[in-house]
Chain A
Amino acid sequence: MVEMMSEKKFDYFIQGEKNKWEVIIGLEIHAQVLSKSKLFSSSPTKFGAEPNSQVSLLDSAFPGMLPVINQFCIEQSIKTGLGLKAKINLHSVFDRKNYFYADLPQGYQISQYKNPIVGEGEIILDMPYGSKKVRIERLHLEQDAGKSIHDLDPENTYVDLNRSGIALMEIVSKPDLRSPDEVSAYVKKLRSIMRYLGTCDGNMQEGSLRADVNVSVRKVGNKELGTRCEIKNVNSIKFMQMAINYEAKRQIELLESNKIVNQETRLFDIKKNKTRTMRSKEDAHDYRYFPDPDLLPLNIEKSLVDMLKKDLPELPDEKKERFIKEHNLSAYEATILVSEKEISDYYEEVVKSCDKKLATNWITGDLFAVLNKKNVSISKSPISANNLSSMISMISSGKISGKIAKNVFEKMQINDEDPQKIVEREGLVQQSNPKKLEKLIQEVIAKNEAKVSDYKAGKVKLFGFFVGEIMKASKGKANPILVNKILKAKLN
C-alpha cells in the first residue's frame, strides 16, 4: 500500500499590519483521576451527586483532620505517565499551595511543586502535514477544589464541596503547539490515551477535563519567546480555539502599536468571544509553596512501575501501527479507528469473525454516518458489533450483495436485530444460482433486442441499462458479480 505524500504544509500564521506572526501555545490540562474515592479522603467521587453529600470532615477541613493518600491514584498517575512515554520519578513530594477562596476549605491545596511524580514525556499528533511531536514537561497529582455557585442568590455565593479533594492529574506541555488545530489534536489525543488507560474519562462537559491555555506570539524568524498570558479554565476544545484566535490577535495588535503585553491571567468570555483580565498584578497570588508536613515524601518502588508497565493496555499509537501492518489498513483508516478506545474496541470485536477491509469501510462509512445523524457515540451504537460482523460475513460468503446489505443495515438499526433473521424473514438472500440468473438475463435480453443491437454496435454504456433491468426484474437480489459475468458472456 503506497501512501500518498501529504502536500499540505503548516500554515497558521497571522499577518499583522507590519509583520508575519506565529502563535506559541502551551497547555496545562487538569484531568480528574478515575477512582472510587478522593485523593486524600475516602469520600466517593461520583458526578452529579446532591450538594455536599460526598464530603467528609477532611474534605471540609475540620480542625485536626489529616490526609491519607489513595494508592490507586498514585498508580493511575504512573500509568498516565507511561502512556506519555514519560519519566516516572520514584521520589516525589507533596507541597501546599496556599491561597484563599470559598471553594478551598483548607486555605491551601495539596499539590506537587518542585518534585512531581512524572517528568518529561511526549505525545505524537497526526496532522495533515505530517507527524508532530509535542513535548510534555511534567505531570503531577493534586486536589481538585469545590464549586462556587454564583447565580443562585443575588448577594451570596453557595459552596458545594463534593468536588473538593478529588484527585487531579495536572499535565503540563512545553510551548510546542502552534495553532488552534494542533491544540485540538493534542487535547483529543491526550484524552484518548487516558481513556485507553482508564485513568480519566475525559468528559469535558462534566468537568473531568479542563484546560488552562498559555498563549504568546512572536515574529516569524525570531527565536525568543514572547510574554505569555494564561487563559484559565476553558472547558471545550471549540472555546479553546476561539480564545487562542482572539488572544493571539490581541497581543499582535498591542505589539505592533509598540505597546507591551503584560503577563497576566485572563478569562475567556464565551458570550463576547473575547479574553479579559482576571487578575491584576497587585492581586497576583504568592502561593508560598512548602512541603506538606502532614505527608511524608512519596517513594515508589521500581517494581511497581514495572508491573504497571507490563499490564498497560495497547495504546493508540501502537494499535495504529499494528492495524497498518497486520490488518493492512491505510494510515488514514487506522488513525480513525484508534482515535477513540470505544471505536477500536468495536472494530476489533467486529473483525474477530469477518473481513477487515469491509469492516473498516462499513464502520467508518455507514455506521459513522448513522451515529452522527443520531448524535450518539459508538458506545450507544444502534447496531452491535456482533450483528455488524454477521452482516459483513454474509456479504463475504455471497449470501447477500453489498446493495442488499445496505437494506439490511437500515433494518438492523431499528432493534439491533440479528441480520440473518432479517434476511431470512424478508427473503433478501442474494440470487446466486447461475441457471436461474441465466434464465432471467435471457429474458431481459429478449425483451430489449433493439438495445442489444445498439450495444453490439458500440454503445457500451448500455451495459448499465441491462444491469439495471436485471436488478429490477430480480427485485435487487441478483448477485451483481455473477450478473456481470453472465451478461458479458451473453452479449459478446
Chain B
Amino acid sequence: MKDLTKKTLCNLVKGIKKKDFTSEEITNFFIENSKNGKKLNTFITTNFERALEEAKNFDKNKNYEGLLSGIPLAVKDLFCTKDVKTTAGSKMLNNFIPTYESTVTSNLWKEGAFLLGKLNCDEFAMGSSNETSFFGNVINPYGDKLIPGGSSGGSASALAANFTPATIGTDTGGSIRQPASFTGTVGLKPTYGRCSRWGIVAFASSLDQAGPMTQNVEDCALLLEAISSYDSKDSTSANIKVDQYTKNLTDNIKGLKIGIPREYRVENMPDEIDVFWKKGIEFLKDAGAIIKDINLPHTKYALPSYYIVAPAEASSNLARYDGVKYGHRAKGNNLNEMYENTRSEGFGDEVKRRILIGTYVLSSGYYDAYYIKAQKVRQLIKNDFDKAFKDVDAVLTPSTPNSAFKVGDKKDDPISMYLNDVFTVPVNLAGLPAISIPAGHDKNNLPLGLQLIGKAFDEQTILNLSLAIEKRASFKRQITEWWK
C-alpha cells in the first residue's frame, strides 16, 4: 500500500490528476488507517464498501473536472447524507436515514469527492470536548486520555490521525476552531451565510455555519471554495459571489493591519498562551503586517450572551424531536407522556440542560430580561467589531485559553466547560469569519492554535494571513500512532 501519510488534500488532488496514484489506492489507505484507529472512536458510521465502489468507478471514468476529483472524505455526523444514517451524535436519531442530502455535502460530491463515513461529534453539536456523544467519547490522537475538543471532535481527531484527508465540521460557538486548536489542525468558520445550512441538523440557527477542517491552509482554501454557495432553499444564505480562494491565496500580506484586542487577555490566562500570541504577532510583523492595539470592550459579555441565545434557539429547533415523524420513540399512555418519555430517553444530559435553559430564558416574564438583553449585547459586540474593522483588516487572538484537557476533567462543571469557548464565541455572535491555525506546542507537548478573525465575507484575507503564519511557524504535528 502506498504511504500517503505526508500527502495533503491538494497533493492528493494533484497526484490523482498526474496519475501518481489511483482513487482506489487513496481510499484503501484511509480505510486501513480508520480500521486501525477504532480506539479513537472517530466514526459513528463507516461507508467503506460504497466508498471503494465510488473510487473504482472514478478510476474507470477518470473525470478530473472537479476541485476534489476522486477524493474520499469523512464528514461530521451533523450533515444529512442521503441513504446513510445521520445521528447528530444522539440516541434520538440513532436510526435516522435521511432521504435527502445537505447542500454542503452535495457540493462536495459535485466536485468529485465521495463519502468515506460519518464522524462522531458532541450530541446535537452541544459540547466542547466530544464527551456528550451517545456513541462515546472521541479520543485526541495526541494522547489516549485527552479530549479532542468539540463539538467537531470526531472530525478533528480523524483528520489529525489521518483517517480522512480533510473533513468538514460545523461551528456555532467554536466547534470547528477549538478542536482544530486542540489537535494541531486548521479549522475555518466562514462568515454567517457563506455556506448553506440546508440539510444540516440545526442547533442554533443564527450562529451555525459549516466549515472546512484541514491539515494546512492551502487545503482549507480549496475545501472552502468547494463547499461555499448561495442556496435559495436557505433564507439566511448570502447571495454573494464565492471568491477564488485558492487562486488568490498568497502569503504576501505586506501592509495589512492586524488588531490585537486587549480584552482577550483574560484573567488566569496561562503564560504560554500569551507567549504563543506574541509569537503570532512577530510572525505577522515579519511578513510585513502592521500591528495595532484595538478595543473590543464587550468581549467579556459574549459568553453569557451566547449561553442565552444559543440554548434559546436550540430549545425551539429541537422541539421537532418528538418521536412522531422519525427517530427514537418511547412508550406513553397518551401523547404528552409519549413526548416526555421520548425526549427524556432520546436526549443526553447536556442537551437537556440547554433545552431547559433555552426554554427558561424565552418563557413568560423572562424574555425581556434574558433573550432581548442578550440580543442587545450581541448588537454591542457586533458594533465593537464593526468599529475595529474600520482601522484594521483582521484581528489576531489565541484560539483557546488552554490546550486539550483530560477526559472527565470538566464533566461536572458546565461553566468551566463553557469557558473553553471564550475566544471563539464572540465571532459567531458577530457572524464573522475566523480561522484557527496551529502555532506551536505547549510545555506538555500539546498543540495550541492562533485565531484570525476577518471582515464579513473576507475569508481570503484571513487565509492569506494564516499562510504567512504557517510558513513561519513550521508547525509539525507530534503524533505517534499509539492506537494501532
Contacts and interface: CB of A to CB of B under 8 A. Distances in A.
9 contacts: A64-B100, A96-B316, A102-B335, A106-B319, A107-B318, A157-B335, A288-B315, A288-B364, A293-B206
A65 B318 CA distance: 12
A68 B371 CA distance: 25
A296 interface: yes
A107 B322 contact: yes
B333 to A, nearest CB: 10
B200 A64 contact: yes
Interface residues of A, number: 30
B326 A62 contact: yes
Given A63-B80, A66-B234, A288-B363, A57 B312 contact: no
B154 interface: no
B254 interface: no
Interface string B384-397: 00000000000000
A254 interface: no
- Kindly name the residue among A64, A100, A105 whose own CB sees the greatest number of chain B CB atoms within 10 A: A64
A286 B315 CA distance: 14
B322 A68 contact: no
Contacts of B336: 100
Contacts of B226: none
Interface string A49-86: 00000000100111111111100000000000000000
A101 B362 CA distance: 19
Nearest to B197: A66
B362 A288 contact: yes
B429 to A, nearest CB: 13
Contact of A105 (B197, B313, B325, B335): B325
B88 interface: yes
A227 interface: no
Contact of A57 (B96, B100, B232, B339): B100
Interface string B171-205: 00000000000000000000000000111111011
Contacts of A69: 235
B367 interface: yes
A64 B80 contact: yes
Contacts of A60: 325
B86 interface: yes
Q: Which of A63, A68, A159 has the most CB of B within 10 A?
A: A63
Contacts of A107: 316, 318-320, 322
Contacts of B202: 63-64
Interface of A: 57, 60-69, 96, 98, 100-102, 105-108, 157, 159, 286, 288-290, 293-296
Nearest to A58: B233
A305 B2 CA distance: 67
B102 interface: yes
B45 interface: no
Given A98-B316, A105-B320, A293-B313, A67 B235 contact: yes
A81 to B, nearest CB: 23
B359 interface: yes
B236 interface: yes
Nearest to A161: B325
A295 B235 CA distance: 6
Contacts of B102: 64
Contact of A286 (B96, B200, B364): B364
Interface in B103-148: none
Given A68-B235, A290-B371, A293-B206, A63 B364 contact: no
B288 interface: no
Given A62-B98, A64-B102, A106 B362 contact: no
A294 B235 CA distance: 7
Contacts of A290: 312, 316, 362, 367, 371
Contacts of A65: 198-199
B355 to A, nearest CB: 11
Contacts of A101: 335
B419 interface: no
A134 B199 CA distance: 46
B235 A66 contact: yes
9 closest residue pairs by CB, A with B: A107-B319, A288-B362, A293-B205, A293-B206, A64-B199, A61-B320, A63-B201, A286-B364, A64-B80
B336 to A, nearest CB: 8
Nearest to B372: A290
Contacts of A67: 235
Interface string B344-366: 00000000000000010011100
B289 interface: no
Interface string B236-253: 100000000000000000
B100 A294 contact: no
A160 to B, nearest CB: 12
A61 B319 CA distance: 10
Given A98-B316, A108-B316, A108-B319, A64 B198 contact: yes
Contact of A66 (B100, B198, B335): B198
Interface string B25-45: 000000000000000000000
A98 to B, nearest CB: 6
B93 interface: yes
Given A61-B320, A61-B325, A106-B319, A294 B205 contact: yes
Nearest to B339: A100
A108 B198 CA distance: 19
Contacts of B318: 107
Interface string B301-330: 000000000001101101110101110000
A63 B362 contact: no
Nearest to B124: A63
A63 B93 contact: yes
Given A101-B335, A105-B325, 19 more contacts: A61-B320, A62-B325, A63-B96, A64-B202, A66-B236, A96-B316, A98-B319, A102-B324, A106-B319, A108-B319, A157-B335, A286-B363, A288-B363, A288-B364, A288-B367, A290-B312, A290-B316, A293-B206, A293-B236
B227 to A, nearest CB: 15
Contacts of A289: 362, 367
Nearest to A96: B316
A159 B93 CA distance: 21
Interface in B28-84: 80
B232 A296 contact: no
A62 B364 contact: no
B126 to A, nearest CB: 15
Contacts of B96: 63
B98 A296 contact: no
A359 B377 CA distance: 69
Nearest to A57: B100
Nearest to B336: A100
B374 to A, nearest CB: 11
B308 to A, nearest CB: 11
Contacts of A61: 320, 325
B57 to A, nearest CB: 27
A66 B198 CA distance: 6
A41 to B, nearest CB: 10
Most A CB contacts (10 A, CB to CB) among B201, B336, B364 go to B364
A155 to B, nearest CB: 10
A101 B338 CA distance: 11
A159 B335 CA distance: 12
Contacts of B201: 63-64
A77 B263 CA distance: 49
A159 B338 CA distance: 15
A154 to B, nearest CB: 13
